[in-house]
Every structure is written in structure tokens, then in C-alpha cells.
Chains A and B, each alone.
Chain A
């Protein structure tokens, strides 16, 4: 709770901060979603709405999603034609009520994908969405390796114009006044709350405070890898419902910064050192030659 208010005040103080990859706390007015996993009923309508809204392939009728409980047999991940998936986990508190967890791109404050991309195809937009520009993408797939949540997927079966695929946070919709992400709009159980991220953090902590025993005291995404726009509440420790709890709070881009800062020093110091060595070598050779010359002359002089 204290940490949450800390970030809120920090945001308030830094209203003018230019938020690029290099600065925390990022865009002050960015939006987010709070997912309450204790509420989700696993109807998978969000999956349907996501495909509908993003015009993704392999769409099925809504009924097929609601009745398609067989997919819960195994844990799924996002893929080229699926930006979001709902997984089912056993509830250690009450085995008759499994826990359903919706997953999609977390829309990090400082996205690992954006710092990995060598053509700047990823942008953290001021509204909070991490967007992907397929017109720049070369297809190196470093973003997929660099994502701590394993969210981006790839169109491996497209031979000529494959793209990286991931949740867009319905960027176009939420950029408009009153727009909602498709998944949030269709949810019948109010699992997801869409709003300003700072408000959501307050809301999350208020929920934890007001419902003793209902949640673990952890808002996943509040601080993970520097904070994410999507955040989660849970009744059980997060590692039991498919989240990695070993990610730490350091934003992914921070890890490569010390190395990148070495580039210009190398180009300044190494040529200087190399030229120094080279001059020493030249002079040494010259002195040696002179010495040989003198020795020869002495010999001839005799």
C-alpha cells in the first residue's frame, strides 16, 4: 500500500517528465486495466471479442468459446492468431471453484520489447499501450526473447510478410474519449476495470484493504519489471496461477544500459591507445635500424 501511494506521489511530482524508455515513472496519465482474478468466471468471451475486434484468423462463434471448456485442460499461451487467453488453475482454497486468469501483453512502463527492437517498431504510447509497427519489423524476434512475460508471438507460417503479434490494448479505441478495450467491454462479470493507472492502483489497494482475507496483499504489475499498465489481484500467491514472481522490479531496458554507455568511450580511448602503441613501435623500429646502420658503418670504417 505504501509503495502504491509512493508511486502516485512520484507521478504527481513528475507531471512534466518526458517519458521515454530512459525515465521512470513514465507517462503520468496512462491508462491501465485491473484484472480481479477472484471474479473471472472463465466464459472466454474476452477471447472472442479480442479476435473479433482485431479481425484475427480462426474465429469461432461466441457459443463455441463459452462451451469450449476443453481448452482448459492445458495451460495455453498467446500465439499468432490469439492475443489473449484465459487459463484455468486449481484453487487451493476451494477446489470446486477453479481460478481463471486472462493473459495478454502487460503493456510495461519500460517495455523490454521496445528496448530490444533495432528498428524501433515498438512504442510506449502516452495512453499506456505498447504498440507495434509491422511496417518497420525485420523479423529478428528479439522482442519475443526479451519479453519477461513471453507475450509476443510470431506468424511463423507466413512465408513472406510475417509479423510479431500481441495485444494492442485496442489502441485506436482507447485513444478516443470513452473508448474501452474490446475484452473489457464484453466481460459479463466485471473482472476488468479500465481507467487511469494511478486510480487503479488506489482501487486495487482499497479492494485488498476492504476485503480482508479475499486477496493476497500484492498487486501484480504495480512494481514488476518497473510497473505495467495491466495489473492483477489474486486470492492465492501469484506463482500458483501462472505468473512469474521472480522477475524483480528493475525495468528490462535498464539491464543493457551500462553496456550501451560503453560505446562512445571505446571509440575515443581505443584509437588513442592504438595510435600510442603504434608510435612506440615505429620509434622502436627506427632506433633499431639506426643502431644497425651505425654498427655496419663502424664495421666498414675499420
Chain B
């Protein structure tokens, strides 16, 4: 950057300003020689061929999926965890735009961006899992299977992606200096938020309801009529926890973007988010216990799967609930952040339990599913491309800061 300033008469063209961060193409390329990018390049060098291999040779050679185990980590991790952890956009949107919690407003754009990209890349990962990925619009335009929970998921995720795009759009128009479009989209934010709340409630719980059809395959400790509610509540936990984690990371990595950077403000808000996470975790924990009582599945607790269930529910739900409560009461911001990570891991663990670990529990071990290395690599690759996209946008669009040329959004 310093080099550019010293060449006094450098006036960036539109392309240089918008795409190359105000540098010449050469300087921009040079600025990308970093350790982080080297790691990214390595991942992509392995990952892109794996994606090609999957597309050209099919699911059989590239995955460990089988007739008994039709779903693997591309569903269990990429889709289920991706969507649950991307709930931040909906949670913060509700808090800011519907409940009027103005002090959280500066988190709205990053949360919506994280949410949007989370959904987008969950869908991209899902595409690789579909046997005929090129038919992905079929449930929308060719044939409606309205009796299927998955039909609801497909429609709602697609619509919600649109909602989040609308919510995030003002940032694009500010980046491109398109004031008229921006004004239209700012006005649409409230509608998109309300619509998004309905859609989120339904598809977050619907992702769990997929398993309602499998009482004979999912372990009784995880199978319950309460699955929809559990998935919804834990998605709120995931959204809140990820907002804490994401804001911590962005405010460190992109701190130079924020004028009058006030770490105190973020700390106050983090404490508030931590409190909300703690309360939601407690409520979720009690719903889990009510599920045990309702299904009368207590006896399973004293089995191998029972101990594993307790690890999830005590270690990754109740423990972070108490820890976050303690941290908030004693204003320990760092502790809130640390335990937010535990809560997010708990959501991941829960989704993996539902979809893989406690699924097909009746089958002998030799018929159980363990992901192939290519499934893992593809997952890592998709996440990496997601992070790259996030960074690309953060570096260019006014996500963390208010664009100086525009009035702040009013709602």
C-alpha cells in the first residue's frame, strides 16, 4: 500500500478501485502472496480435482455411500451444520429490525453476509451429493412432491437465500454507487426480514423433520416428535454462537476498515449475545429432557449410545449454558467467545449424531458409514471457497462500516 501512495499521481480506474482494492493489477497480485493464500492454494489444488472426479466418475468411486447409508457428510455436515450455523442472519435480523435492538445493528450486515454465504455454500455442497445435480430445479419447476418435508426444505432454502440476498443487497449497491437501487432494497429489508423469519422457523425445523420418517433407523435418544423444535432451537444457538465467533474474527482481521474502532462496543454486544445463547441453551436443554420423558427413553442412557448422548447434551449444551451464564455475569468477554465455540461445536455434534453417528445404529459395524477422504476434501474445499468469497466481499463492500457517501439505513 505504501508504495502506491508514494507514486503520487496514481489514480485508480474503476476496475482497479472496485476489484483490485485501489491497486494496479501487479500490486494486487503481489499483495496476495501470503501464507494464508498459500494454504488456500494447496487446498484448492487437491480439492478442485476431487470435485472434478466426483462430477465425472460419480458418487460410487468418490464416496463411501452405500445402499444402506445413502447420506454421508455432504448432507450431515455440509448441509445440516452449514444451514444451522448460518442462522445468524435470521437471529440478528429479528433482533434488530423486528425487536428494535439498535445496539446490535452494526452486526446485521456481517451476520446476513455470513448467513447468505452459509446457505449458498451449503447448497453448492449439496449439489455434489445429488445423483443428478443438473436437475436441482426440478422440485421448483417440474414436479411438486408436496407431501415431502424435503420439498419444503428445498423451497424454503431457495426463498430464504433470496431473502438474505435482498437484505445484503444495499451493501452491493453502495459498493457500486447505485443510490436508487439501494433505496429500493433498503425499503425491502423489513419485508424480507419478516418473510425470512417464517422461512427460517420452518426450514430449520424441517431439516430435523426429515428424520421423522425414520423412527426405525435413528436411535431413540435422538428420535422424537420434538425433532423439529430441537432443530429450530439449536439453530438459534448456532446462529448466535456463530455471530459471536464471526464478529470476533472479522473485527480482528478487518479492524483497519472500521473508523473509530471501538472494541468496547463489540464487547458489550458480545456479552448480550452470550446471554441470549445461554438462555437458549438452557431452554434447549430442558426440551431435550422433556423429549427423554415424553419418549420414555431413559433406559437407553445407560448404554454406549446413552453415554455419547450425555456427552452431547451435558458437555455441549448444559455446560456451555452454565459457562456462558457465569461469563456474562462476570463480564468475561473472552470466556464468552471461547464457550460460543463450544456451543457451535455442540450444534455440529448434534447434526452429525442425527445424520450419521446415531443413524442406522441397528446395523452391524461393517455396514456403517465412515466418510472417504474425498468426501472430507470436498467438504474442506467448499468451505475454503466460502471463506475466500467472504473475504473478497469484506475487502470491497461496506459490511463492517457505514459507507461515508450514504445515509445509515433507517427502519
Contact = CB atoms under 8 A, between A and B. Distances in A.
Contacts of A31: none
Interface stretch (A90-98, A278-286, A291-299): A278-286
Interface string A246-271: 11100011011011101100110011
B188 to A, nearest CB: 14
Given A115-B213, A136-B143, A144 B198 contact: no
Nearest to B97: A278
Contact of A141 (B71, B97, B197, B206): B71
Contact of A259 (B60, B65, B136, B228): B228
B198 A266 contact: yes
Contact of A21 (B71, B147, B198, B215): B147
Nearest to B195: A271
Contacts of A78: 67
Given A252-B213, A260-B149, A281-B99, A136 B138 contact: yes
Contact of B58 (A79, A158, A244): A158
Interface centre among B57, B147, B194, B198, by most chain A C-beta atoms within 10 angstroms, is B147
A233 interface: no
A138 B138 contact: yes
A162 B216 contact: no
Interface stretch (A61-69, A99-107, A117-125): A117-125
A247 B147 CA distance: 21
A270 B129 CA distance: 33
B347 to A, nearest CB: 20
B135 A116 contact: no
A146 B100 contact: no
B170 to A, nearest CB: 19
B205 interface: yes
B139 interface: yes
B98 interface: yes
Contacts of B201: 266, 270
A72 interface: no
Interface stretch (B2-10, B150-158, B338-346): B150-158
A244 B216 contact: yes
Interface centre among A145, A153, A161, A163, by most chain B C-beta atoms within 10 angstroms, is A145
B213 A259 contact: no
Give the bracket for the number of chain B residues in contact with chain A. Answer: 35 or more
Contacts of A141: 65, 70-71, 131
Interface centre among A77, A144, A248, A253, by most chain B C-beta atoms within 10 angstroms, is A144
Contacts of B153: 118
Interface in B195-222: 195, 197-198, 201-202, 205-206, 209-210, 212-217
B143 A119 contact: yes
Interface string A126-145: 00000000001111111011
Interface in B50-75: 55-61, 63, 65-68, 70-71
Contacts of A155: 131
Give the bracket for the number of chain A residues in contact with chain B. Answer: 35 or more
A159 interface: yes
Contact of A278 (B65, B70, B98): B98
B52 to A, nearest CB: 11
Contacts of B150: 116-118, 140, 142
Contact of A140 (B56, B58, B100, B130): B130
Given A77-B67, A266-B202, A162 B58 contact: yes
B216 A246 contact: yes
A117 B145 contact: yes
Contacts of B145: 117-121
A150 interface: yes
A141 B75 CA distance: 11
A117 B144 CA distance: 9
A119 B209 CA distance: 18
A145 B190 contact: no
A13 interface: no
B117 to A, nearest CB: 23
A136 to B, nearest CB: 5
Contacts of A162: 58-59, 131-132
A160 B288 CA distance: 42
